[in-house]
């Protein structure tokens, strides 16, 4: 592991610990309003100042990090499982199944996913609870994000189907379902792990994009996306630099994931 990869590990561990310890580090919570100090600069009481509604920005960053870092892996897991089921099975079965699965994948890839997300979020009632909005946002990301991984898994499973060890197991009299679960799936695991880890930063960024558009996690619950929305009205970069903390955190975390992913790729190669 290189120095950069060690550093990435430390950064991710610190950010994760900070978000998990949000209740202790910011006991007042993300929603408490300090009406006497709205849009305040950093102080001893509010390390990153407050937003225009008087909520402590430091608390919101910690809680927002928790949501992004816990739910992006959940969305990645959902999309990876769907990719494994659809791509892996289609590749293993081959023939018309593979063609059908790839046609569906092509269809999904050609869909304007941002438009779909906007539509799906728009269909939800306005008074939906923040928790449900979080679940729905990440579920939608997971449901729409399986296609590329499914393509990779379909190709991998197809090559495994023609491998010597699958042929040998067939000749030993193993039924098709045992061949798939016992002989093919364990060999898909490295690809599945890689797809899972690749998806996490993608989903973190996707949620941030949705949040900027006001379509991510509903208020008052914070997420990196909704925190970045604050930057919309910023006139000058040097004016209120503390408002950039969520953006810097997002870039640092996504970069750390990418650095660690390069390690995974090295190991796979």
Partner 1 sequence: MSSDASQNQILLSAHFSVRYAGKPPVLRGVQLEIQRGEVLGLVGQSGSGKSTLAMAILGLLDKKRSPAEGTIRFEDIDLLQLSERQLRALRGRSIALVLQSPLSSLNPALKIRTQFKEAWRAHASGTSADCADAIRNSLQGVSLPSDDEFLRKYPSQMSVGQAQRVLIAMAVMHRPALLIADEATSALDVITQSEILALFRELNHSTGMAILYISHDLASVAGICDRIAILHQGEIVECGTTNQIFTNPQHEYTQRLMAAIPRLMHANAPLHAKTATAQ
Determine the Cα–Cα distance for residues 71 and 139; give it in Å rounded to an integer. 9
What token pair was written down for 234?
A: 């910023």
Instruction: Using alpha carbons, list the distances in angstroms from residue 160 to 48, 169, 183.
Output: 53, 12, 9
Instruction: Using alpha carbons, list the distances in angstroms from residue 198 to 145, 154, 225.
Output: 11, 17, 19
Q: 169 vs 245, which CB is nearer to partner 1?
A: 169
Question: Shortest Cβ distance from residue 154 to partner 1 (Å)?
Answer: 19
Reduced to 3 states (helix: H, G, I; strand: E, B; else coil), residue 50 is strand
Q: 182 vs 251, which CB is nearer to partner 1?
A: 182
Please, which of residues 153-172 interact with partner 1 by CB under 8 A?
163-165, 167-172
Out of 173, 232, 239, 269, the residue judged to bind partner 1 by CB under 8 A: 173
What is the size of the binding site for partner 1 (CB under 8 A)?
18
Determine the Cα–Cα distance for residues 118 and 22; give it in Å rounded to an integer. 30
Q: 168 vs 258, which CB is nearer to partner 1?
A: 168
Positive or negative, the Cα torsion across 221, 54, 18, 264?
positive
Does 174 engage in binding with partner 1 (CB under 8 A)? yes
Among the residue ranges 51-59, 108-116, 178-186, 212-220, the one whose residues contact partner 1 (CB under 8 A): 178-186
Binding track, positions 95-124, relative to partner 1; x by CB under 8 A: ------------------------------
- Could you give the angle at the alpha carbon of 200 between the alpha carbons of 198 and 202, nearest 5°? 80
Q: 2 vs 163, which CB is nearer to partner 1?
A: 163
Q: 173 vs 238, which CB is nearer to partner 1?
A: 173
Q: 6 vs 178, which CB is nearer to partner 1?
A: 178
Q: Report the 10 Å Cβ neighbour count for 35.
A: 8
Positive or negative, the Cα torsion across 194, 196, 197, 203?
positive
Please, which of residues 180-199 interact with partner 1 by CB under 8 A?
182-183, 186-187, 189
**Binding site residues, partner 1, CB under 8 A:** 163-165, 167-175, 178, 182-183, 186-187, 189
């Amino acid at each position: 592991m290189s120095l950069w990869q060690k550093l990435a590990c430390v950064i991710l561990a610190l950010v994760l610990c900070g978000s998990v310890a949000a209740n202790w580090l910011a006991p007042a919570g993300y929603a408490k309003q300090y009406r006497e100090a709205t849009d305040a600069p950093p102080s001893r009481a509010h390390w990153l100042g407050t937003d225009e509604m008087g909520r402590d920005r430091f608390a919101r960053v910690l809680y927002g990090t928790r949501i992004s870092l816990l739910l992006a892996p959940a969305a990645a897991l959902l999309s990876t499982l769907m990719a494994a089921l659809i791509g892996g099975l289609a590749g293993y079965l081959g023939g018309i199944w593979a063609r059908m699965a790839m046609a569906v994948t092509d269809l999904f890839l050609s869909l304007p996913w941002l438009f779909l997300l906007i539509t799906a979020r728009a269909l939800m009632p306005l008074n939906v609870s923040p928790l449900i909005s979080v679940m729905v946002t990440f579920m939608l990301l997971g449901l729409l994000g399986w296609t590329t991984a499914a393509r990779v898994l379909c190709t991998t499973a197809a090559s495994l189907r023609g491998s010597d060890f699958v042929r040998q197991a067939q000749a030993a009299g193993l039924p098709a379902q045992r061949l798939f679960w016992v002989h093919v799936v364990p060999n898909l695991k490295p690809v599945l792990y890689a797809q899972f880890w690749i998806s996490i930063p993608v989903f973190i960024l996707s949620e941030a994009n949705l949040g900027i558009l006001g379509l991510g996690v509903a208020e008052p619950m914070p997420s990196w996306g909704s925190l970045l929305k604050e930057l919309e009205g910023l006139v000058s970069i040097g004016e209120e630099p503390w408002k950039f903390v969520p953006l810097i955190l997002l870039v640092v975390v996504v970069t750390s994931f990418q650095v660690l992913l390069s390690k995974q790729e090295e190991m796979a190669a």
